[in-house]
Amino acid sequence: MTAADRVPPQHRVPVHRRAKVHRLPAIVDNLPGAVYRTQPTRYLIEHLDWMRRAGRADSTIKARTMALHFLALWLHGDPFDATSQQLDAWQSTLKPLIKMRHQTSLIRPYYRFVQDRGYRLDNPAALLPLPPAPRRLPRPISEERLMAAVAAARPRVLRWLLLAGWSGLRAAEIAGLTVESFAADGTGQVWARVMGKGSKEREVPVPAWCWELIEPALPASGPCWAREKGTGPVTAQHVSQLCNDYLRSQGMSDTFHALRHRAATETLHATGGDLRAVQDLLGHSNLGTLHVYTRVRPGTLAGAVAALGRPTDELR
């Protein structure tokens, strides 16, 4: 007796109504996100291949694949055939606005692609509104809490705190470091070559006193940080979770990413407000995103407005 035979007749799905399993051509087996493509979406394979050739990040390709997959589930059909009215109805189900913005920004390029290629005459996503990105205040960890955190951290976590708080590295960038990523210039300054978001490579300085604490623990070659349990290098999630758990254990509500905010804020003040220096440190393509990372010290702002010109005559 098979598993299907054990299902009561009244609960069996008629053969003609069962979902078909769509096999993808072998040429796309190596495309990021291939494992997620369980719903048929016409021209998705071509679009993903175009994204790869255009240099889009693997994470972006996977996210778009997943977004179209869930859109297909909502539509109960192929997203290629969606109408503008259907996409309006789908977008109305996305809450909060930050989710609406994220999901909308993921599916719109697919429809632009199929229209540009002549596969569709119209673009049903063209009039979907894109909510503005939320403007949040930067939340750098305070100097007092940061110094307390590094003073009590065990060596493994300490090195990650230093790279985030003084060199502004993301958890993924720290996890991806190899011994070969570090090199000293003619002055002895150590630089770390990291691969940031969007496969953008940059070099960031590592303070000498930080390097003195980091270098002794590095292996002769290869990945800098091996897993404490299992084999292979650590992942971004491992770095982030371990550091977040440590900060919480110290009674701090700050996240590990707040150390990157701190590095940006302190670099801004140390350079006299040089936004390009902060941009190079963080690896952001757009200067406009720096407001999320850099915070003007209240004392600086208060001193600035107090120094503004004032009337010479007495006011009543």
Q: Which residues are annotated as catalytic?
A: 170, 197, 257, 260, 284, 293
Cα–Cα separations (whole angstroms), residue 165 to 210, 225, 241:
10, 18, 16
The answer to whether 168 and 204 are in contact (CB under 8 A) is yes
What stretch of H or E contains 150? Answer: helix 143-152
In angstroms, the Cα distances linking 107 to 40, 55, 66, 213 are 15, 18, 10, 46
Where does residue 287 fall: left (phi above 0), alpha (psi -120 to 50 degrees), or beta otherwise? Answer: alpha
Rg (CA), the chain: 26
- Cα dihedral sign for 245, 247, 253, 255? negative
For 190, the enclosing helix (H) or strand (E) is strand 190-195
Contact 256, 264 (CB under 8 A): no
Give the closest residue to 99 by CA, choosing from 142, 138, 131: 131
Say which amino acid occupies 135.
Answer: R
